[in-house]
Structure 1
């Protein structure tokens, strides 16, 4: 469904992506792993068309992501942001229904609210949460609201940016389980960027490791532990010694 071929992106002298080749099959969950600063977020922004590659192509269903109707293109995506990115001045239901209240996917207010309440229910939050403000919620509840917003418009493709950042291990497990259930239920294509190995094992069909601007290894999650690739082995086991240099 999504294909990256020879994608390069530099910011000044900083060559972030150095020839990324990656295929994300329709209806599968791809998790991109790699250390901080390896270009995972730039890769995600490039797929969304928010960053334009210097070289190479990125296609969605065979169509260049930088061309065509931007609103129609972005309407196909849902996004769970790393920090939640909820609007403090909006009630929870207004956050969830944000895309349904304006622009390309606008719905009547009563319909948008009903959809928001249903999506909140799907992520385990009660209807009364809908009229609260984000500041009145715990970190785990805010993450659930972010997930409800990501699926509110029934997207074909969902991106998850470090979905368990800032959560305790138990809540991380809950969010991972919700993500997996929802992606399977919706039949969505998913792309996650993370360095949390519990998330990888919980939600991935396939895994790709980004290192020094290229995909170092990719394959089914079931083959990740057995791969002899030294970069993957060092990363997934958190070893200090190996080909990945740590900042000391």
Structure 2
């Protein structure tokens, strides 16, 4: 079966700083891949390369076995949804307008009434009541904002969803709630998911497969069941949060 996403020997540098140094990664259709690794190891740049926000210096990125052509850019991006690390909600828009942002624009856009109804449906799916729809982001708690971001990520029924540090800034209970929601929604939709996180509880709750980036390369990849017995000293140090090991801490 052709992988949903495949990166082959992807390199990216910014000036003299080499961020990606030959990334090879395969994400199967309908699977949840979690990318772990320390700050500055290239996790966010990898996602930006997949989305075409950043152009790799070399290597190839395939979606369903094909590269994304510039002429098909809108259709290409319509296949993706994303939950941003900080929520990235528009302060000046109501909750339902945030959720329906993409649905109100571009080819095939919905009417305001249709978009609002769909937004309320998605808000219900993430555990928020219809009254939330007319509030503004500043009126919401951090956990509610994260749920709104999740509702927006799934509003257009994307095939591929990215989650960027989905539990950052949340308490352990709310983090658990968000992790469960993400897992349920990905399974229900049959979507392919890629998550970036430092939170090992998220890794264990969300992942089918795990990849660890270090020094711009995939150091290890495998199923979540094999993570604790990876045999890789970098992975072992990272998942157990040990100060001592091959990964040098920044002081």
In the alignment, structure 1 residue 182 sits paired with structure 2 residue 185: yes
For the Cα contact (< 8 Å) 1:52–1:66, is it kept in 2? no
Deviations 1:170-192 (A, max 9, x none): 00000000000000000000000
For the Cα contact (< 8 Å) 1:82–1:163, is it kept in 2? yes
Aligned counterparts, 1:1-248, within 5 A: 1-65=4-68, 67-248=70-251
Distance 2:94 2:108 in 1: 19
Local SS of the residue matching 1:150: helix
Deviations 1:150-189 (A, max 9, x none): 0000000000000000001000000000000000000000
- The alpha carbon displacement at 1:123 in A equals 0.1
Distance 1:142 1:83 in 2: 9
Q: Which runs of 5+ in 2 are unaligned?
A: none
Distance 1:65 1:223 in 2: 33
Distance 1:105 1:229 in 2: 48
TM-score (norm 1): 0.99
Distance 1:140 1:2 in 2: 30
- The alpha carbon displacement at 1:104 in A equals 3.2
Distance 1:66 1:243 in 2: 40
- Aligned residues: CA RMSD: 0.7
Local SS of the residue matching 1:104: coil
- The alpha carbon displacement at 1:68 in A equals 4.0
Distance 2:9 2:220 in 1: 15
Local SS of the residue matching 1:207: strand
Equivalenced residues, count: 248
- The alpha carbon displacement at 1:64 in A equals 1.0
Distance 2:36 2:233 in 1: 14
Deviations 1:90-148 (A, max 9, x none): 00000000000011341111111000000000000000000000000000000000000
Between 168-177 and 66-75, the greater mean CA deviation after superposition? 66-75
Distance 1:216 1:68 in 2: 35
TM-score (norm 2): 0.98
Runs (4+) off by over 6 Å: none
